[in-house]
Structure 1
């Protein structure tokens, strides 16, 4: 068992965990990073092959660690993996890979973090940064479906769907990106709760992220965002919206139920479908907190801006809309990490 001292255990070694470790180091704390995988790159290698960031490289890196190369390009999945690996090499922290956390307890003095190998780490503070990729959200859809049903977390590329009738459920960035590339080889429809909300990627000759950064819109708190934005905005250069206009792919209201190998539409019609891909997002994956009393009945963290409402010394990173629109992104998580570590440091000193 490690000594608590001024250490903070960070659970998860992806982009959020690395951001937390850098912030803790800069605040004079001793970060201990626990990562279930064999590299500190999080879930990025498991995303679909064609994934690219929707923000240019110049707005996607950590402070003081810009992406190499053309700052106006949109980095690919593999470029992000390489970037995160380089970041970890510059991190002066105690890093444990292949270390899966199974439980977090509090003994009245500090936290005890237990792993699947029987190790125990004691610390004054814990930051949960394990992400959500391993907990894809599967909506409840009535009926049974005998076709192929998968979440976008298990999608890799379009080749195996050639010639099939495919429905992609969702109206966010991943949904439209996957549907668009599938439309090159398959008959594709997007099933949506509300029409896709396109936002021009380029405005006034500049990428939208320039304006988000310059006007500080990326920092707006969730309460303000909810009044300004309804649904998930999809950044588009015109490629995706034109594909819908030209009927290369289409969007229809969400179907009402499954019926063996058919979908039942809102008008009562039935349509044969081979594959349904759910691009329906993810939920925080925090099973190791089940016995701590830090989660609500749905398994979501009880927190305010990333700071636990139940346990001083416990914090979170990478939660969607934790503090802003960009909270669970490469471009925004470092800001959250600095805020969370500052708040933790104050509480632990007090």
Structure 2
């Protein structure tokens, strides 16, 4: 297939059209660049359409918008999954009106250096064989398609059902009466609470659950994040916690205290259709749900030499340490505690795109001359 060389050296290819990709496109337009969003699915909403049905944001609408477009509606409500999908599609439409290009069904398979651009640009190959070139690429493909499945003893031979929360939609997703949920973060607790309405649920984790009050002194926690500047703390001052805190308006702690579901230390192993608890007690389990997080999903960069042995990008605050025209967005704790959230990715996008714009200007022929 012919190579799409684009119209000029101001084109920037953005791999992924979820919240981070859209924030990147907005920042690129502000810099006078021409963003092209390459989205593998059929819509510009990232992984949001595939999250579980009951998912609601942990931040109010007031603090959950991308740059340039307020969420709309009651600013104090906590938007649900489908509201977020609709918001992101509105945001994408507004970007297209301003000149951004969105290509859906465009799954990126490889990114490699493009010698035609003096080794300072990239050749991007899509799954259908099409190839595009650009002097800069931003990888924002997220992590939803790379769920982390820990090597728990006996998990691979467990006789019941094993499901990662990435594939969970509702209680109907899991069979049986007794479900063990593995994890101690927001998703683990939220799903355990939902399942407990009709199942016996045991929440297991290596560390205790760290509950944080959702609305201290009558104001949402994100109000205090904004007032204190916590959301803007650089990583040099705010290191990632060992376990994610669980935001709670009181219902989760109350359900746990009332015994609607229980929390136990991690089982020592799974044996057949039983969990073996510390001390040797055995208990039948019908299903195991893994709410154990995700890892960066960047296989298209593997041949570029931009990733470490674990598949994590070699980067600092969203800028590649191996290729000056390559950037990243949406990584957990990339620069601040809110880097991979709707409320925080916009600030990261402005910084990353501004740095790439400076790189593009410096590599233009007139700049070198």
- Normalising by structure 1, what TM-score? 0.97
SS at match of 2:129: coil
Partner of 2:301: 289
8 Å CA contact 1:162, 1:186 repeated in 2: no
Per-residue deviation, 1:231: 1.6
Aligned to 2:266: 254
Unaligned runs of 5+ in 1: none
Instruction: Confirm or deny: 8 A CA contact 1:161 1:182 kept in the other structure.
Output: no
- For residues 163-312 of structure 1, the aligned pairs below 5 Å read 164-226=177-239, 229-312=241-324
CA offset digits 1:320-342 (Å, max 9, x no partner):
10011111111111111001001
Q: Does 1:64 align with 2:76?
A: no
Kindly state the Cα deviation for residue 63 of structure 1 after the two structures are TM-superposed: 2.3
In structure 2, the residue matched to 1:329 is 341
Matched, 1:19 2:23: yes
Q: Using a 3 Å threshold, how does the CA distance of structure 1 residues 161 and 100 change in structure 2: closer, same or farther? A: closer
Deviation at 1:109, TM superposition (A): 3.4
Moved beyond 4 Å, runs of 4+:
160-163
Superposed displacement of residue 264, structure 1: 1.4
- Return the TM-score normalized by structure 2: 0.92
Counterpart of 2:101 in structure 1 is: 94
Rounded to whole Å, the distance in 2 between the matches of 1:255 and 1:162 is 20
Q: Distance in 1 between matches of 2:269 and 2:29?
A: 51
- After superposition, the C-alpha distances for 1:106-165 in whole angstroms (9 at most, x for unaligned) are 131310111011111111100000111000000001222010001001111114547610
Alignment partners' CA distance in 2, 1:168 and 1:253: 12
State the 1:277 CA deviation: 0.2
Residue number in structure 2 paired with 1:113: 124
Partner in structure 2 of residue 157 of structure 1: 170
Give, in whole Å, the separation in 1 of the partners of 2:223 and 2:332.
Answer: 21
The aligned residue for residue 103 of structure 1 is 110
In the alignment, is the contact (CA less than 8 A) between 2:161 and 2:175 conserved in 1? Answer: no
CA contact (8 A) 2:176 2:287 kept: no
C-alpha deviations, 1:158-186, integer Å up to 9, x for none?
14547610010000000000000100000
1:283 Cα offset (Å): 0.6
Residue aligned with 1:22, SS: helix
SS of alignment partner, residue 48 of structure 1: coil
1:224 match: secondary structure: coil
Determine whether 1:83 maps to 2:87.
yes
C-alpha contact (below 8 Å) 2:178/2:285 kept by paired residues: yes
What is the RMSD computed on CA atoms of the aligned residues? 1.2
Give the superposition deviation at 1:226.
2.5
Q: Distance in 1 between matches of 2:43 and 2:310?
A: 30
The count of corresponding residues between Structure 1 and Structure 2 is 349
Distance 2:307 2:175 in 1: 43
1:131 and 2:131 aligned: no
Instruction: For residue 241 of structure 1, give the secondary structure of its aligned residue in structure 2.
Output: helix
Q: In the alignment, does 2:339 pair up with 1:318?
A: no
Q: Using the alignment, how far apart are the partners of 2:202 and 2:131 within structure 1?
A: 49
